[in-house]
Amino acid sequence: MMTNLFSVFDPSAIFNLSLNWLSTFLGLLMIPSIYWLMPSRYNIFWNSILLTLHKEFKTLLGPSGHNGSTFIFISLFSLILFNNFMGLFPYIFTSTSHLTLTLSLALPLWLCFMLYGWINHTQHMFAHLVPQGTPAILMPFMVCIETISNIIRPGTLAVRLTANMIAGHLLLTLLGNTGPSMSYLLVTFLLVAQIALLVLESAVAMIQSYVFAVLSTLYSSEVN
């Protein structure tokens, strides 16, 4: 019986209730627990990552950014990273492969940045629509282009993360479905390919969460 290839991303319902989305919030139970235990290599490694991100985001925000502002983007990075890695385990729902979650993260952030910028720094926001050195004859076109690029920012943030998560999971699903029809020798090569692809997906999970947080930080720094 043929099944839809994209059915691996469908949330399953139990008693007409989709409980898969609860996996998104498991990090609230697991990540804070590292601060309740005795210091370990894992704790020191995770704290060093957070400190590095704090310094980098503070640099991106510039002198107008407050120390507390970086924790918003660090929390965003941690949430996306945790869900990306959770989706690599068997039988765990990948919430970041759905626009429902990614757009819910990107759109409110973008709206807050735009409202804050246009209300408190209106002149700066108007000046940002025309890059410095633009010829007068091209200014109307540049305003249209910059306006469109600003409007599509939450969509590009959400689609980039979703597309990268879907692409890797589809490749793993395709390789897994072809295994039963292969010989033992080809299955060995298939296992090696799946392990290599799983390592690649782990790197993609980290990179995409970092890109999402960095771009959000840059969008925040533009309105100050």
- The model carries a pTM of 0.81
Question: 223 vs 1, which has greater pLDDT?
Answer: 223
| Number of separate domains in the chain | 1
What are residue 17's DSSP bridge partners? 14
CA distances from 197 to 5, 169, 204, 223 (A): 18, 10, 10, 39
Range of 167's domain? 5-221
Nearest to 114 by CA among 153, 156, 157, 164: 153
Q: What is the pLDDT of residues 116-131, one digit of tens each?
A: 888 988 888 888 888 7
Q: Which residue has the tokens 């799983």?
A: 198
Q: Which residue has the tokens 């790197």?
A: 203
Q: Which residue has the tokens 């249209």?
A: 144
Q: Which residue has the tokens 């120390």?
A: 67
159: confidence class by pLDDT, cuts 50, 70, 90 = very high
What are residue 14's DSSP bridge partners? 17
Q: What is the pLDDT of residues 187-224, one digit of tens each?
A: 777 788 888 888 999 999 999 999 999 999 999 888 87
DSSP state of 155: H
DSSP state of 2: -
Token couple for 200:
């690649």
Phi, psi torsion values for 14, nearest 5 degrees: -120, 120
What are the start-end ranges of the H helices in 87-152?
99-120, 122-128, 139-151
Label residues 5-23 b or e (16+ Cβ within 10 Å = b): eeebbeeeeeeeeeebeeb
Sequence-separated (6 or more) residues with CB below 8 Å from residue 92: 23, 86
